[in-house]
Chains A and B, each alone.
Chain A
Amino acid sequence: MEAAIKQSSLDIAAIRAQFPVLKQEVNGYPLTYFDNAATSQKPLRVIEALNQYYSAYNSNIHRGVHTLAEKATNAYEATRNSLQKFINANEKEEIIFTKGTSESINLVAATYGRQNISEGDEIIITGLEHHSNIVPWQMLCEEKGAILKVVPVSNQGEINLDDFKALLSDKTKIVSVAFASNALGTINPVKQIIEAAHKIGAVVLLDAAQAVAHLEVDVQALDCDFLAASAHKMYGPTGVGFLYGKRHLLEQMPPYQGGGEMIKEVTFEKTTYNDIPFKFEAGTPNIADIIAFSEAIGFINELGKENIRVYEDALLDYATQKLTAIDKVKLIGTAQHKVGVLSFIFEGMHPFDVGMMLDARGIAVRTGHHCTMPLMEQFGLEGTIRASFAVYNTFEEIDTFVASLTKIANRIK
């Protein structure tokens, strides 16, 4: 533990101090927040950016001639610039603001998918996808008479590249996979998946919801065609996220929704659409949250992805080791490469009950199927208990967590 702390160059106490929500007691215990895969907490600079926007320059963006509109538009577009750099997109027009990962995936399914998928075509996903990366494709397949193929998941929670390659054929049009699994933490071999899919001419969407706050994400190095993520899982506000898409694909795609902002010219006979990214941003967007999103990106950038990774890996290793030592605990998902997610079951006790016991001690975890019901079914489980870490979590919190689990284990026998 000492060694791990020394390895990290981050000042965790100073980081924690930036998160007001962490400074509280829950049920008489200091809050231990281990539900970061569901949503992370927000640093003060994000909260203040929201406050600042509404207090100082709230205004609708684009087409405004007045000073406040100009200010709001600049701040809004500044987030697009930050995101472009953050994921190393070639141009900022390749970043489309959405409500989050789910909407980003739905957008691609409803536009690119409807345009390019015909009867008998195949779409490939993996067995560990979040419902958000299953259902939009199922809907598309149903509409078009296309076929959804699923790469199997091993008992360790990994997918095998050969299994994936075996599903590829000239019928494969879209491959949509999680960068990292929210339920098990598995990091998928996305680079190799993309390479193989491109060889047969399929496009690849990465669901990066669980990756953006924890892993290096470089869309040009990966060469993914689309990438979806949510701000709220990366220290940013709820209700916003983004879709990255390669310019030539976005330009060919029909619009997603009609309305203001997305048009060039409207007559009752014909409407011409705006250029990307605006073609996909109909209506007044979530201006405040998108502006504040920029501060979340700034927060991550200042800490440095590499530093975050090293520290979170140390947390994960430490917690894995400690948890494995508890008799009644069985880890679910033991992939070689993982983000800071620990899914487990507790012998003799339902996950729901364990979650409630932990909550009584101020520890926030998630229990249930984590929106991955097919994956849970594969493991023969209704659900798991999931602890997921962020950069503000500490080794001491893991000790508290493990002590609580041990106490529960002793009490139920």
Chain B
Amino acid sequence: MNSVEEIQQDIIEEFEFLADDRESTIFYIMELGQKLPAMDESLKTEENIIKGCQSKVWLTSDYKDGKVYFTADSNTDITKGLISLLIRILSGQTPDTILNTELNFVEKIGMSQVIGSQRSNGFNAMIKQMKLYALGYRAKAQVNK
């Protein structure tokens, strides 16, 4: 498993490749979205919907051997692509890592210019929800100690 910093660096380089071509960047994000494995329909509950997203996003997590694993889906490919980036970085990390990671790739690739303000808000809501899950698992782990 690569460190979160290495993964972020990879993503930054992939996006640099697309230079400033907005259309290609969006297509690339969509393609990432199409590759994200579909979520089990039974998990697409009201409870798992992230509030604050214009498109629908469902997010759940599992905790195994001290690490958090995320599963997510959306009804739009672009949103799925965005969340697949977050999963690539944060899924399989410890709660501490997830809580302490600064997602600086977002700014480096100029995400907000590409996706606009509405989607940026949704994107931030996804990050927040992932960190909330991590916080919950860390608290639980401490209680169980």
Contact = CB atoms under 8 A, between A and B. Distances in A.
A361 interface: yes
Interface in B1-52: 22-23, 26-27, 30
Contact of A353 (B22, B23, B76): B76
A349 B77 contact: yes
Nearest to B27: A411
A352 B56 CA distance: 11
Nearest to B81: A353
Contacts of A361: 23
A28 B24 CA distance: 13
A356 to B, nearest CB: 6
B136 interface: no
A350 B76 CA distance: 5
Contacts of B22: 27-28, 360
B120 interface: no
B75 A382 contact: yes
Contacts of B78: 350, 352-353, 356
A175 to B, nearest CB: 34
B32 to A, nearest CB: 13
Main secondary structure of the interface of B (DSSP, over half): helix
Chain B contact-residue range equals 10 to 19
Contacts of A411: 27
B78 to A, nearest CB: 5
A27 B22 CA distance: 7
B54 interface: yes
A27 B23 CA distance: 9
Contacts of A28: 22
Contacts of B30: 353, 412
A94 B14 CA distance: 63
A377 to B, nearest CB: 15
Given A27-B22, A360-B22, A353 B77 contact: yes
Contacts of A356: 26, 78, 115-116, 119
Contact of A357 (B23, B55, B75, B79): B23
Specify which of A350, A361, A411, A412 lies most central, judged by the most chain B CB atoms within 10 Å of its CB.
Answer: A350
Contacts of A360: 22-23, 26
Contacts of A412: 30
Interface in A354-380: 356-357, 360-361, 368
20 contacts: A27-B22, A349-B76, A350-B55, A350-B75, A350-B76, A352-B54, A352-B78, A352-B79, A353-B30, A353-B78, A356-B26, A356-B78, A356-B116, A357-B23, A357-B27, A360-B23, A360-B26, A361-B23, A382-B75, A412-B30
Interface of B: 22-23, 26-27, 30, 54-55, 75-79, 115-116, 119
Interface of A: 27-28, 349-350, 352-353, 356-357, 360-361, 368, 382, 411-412
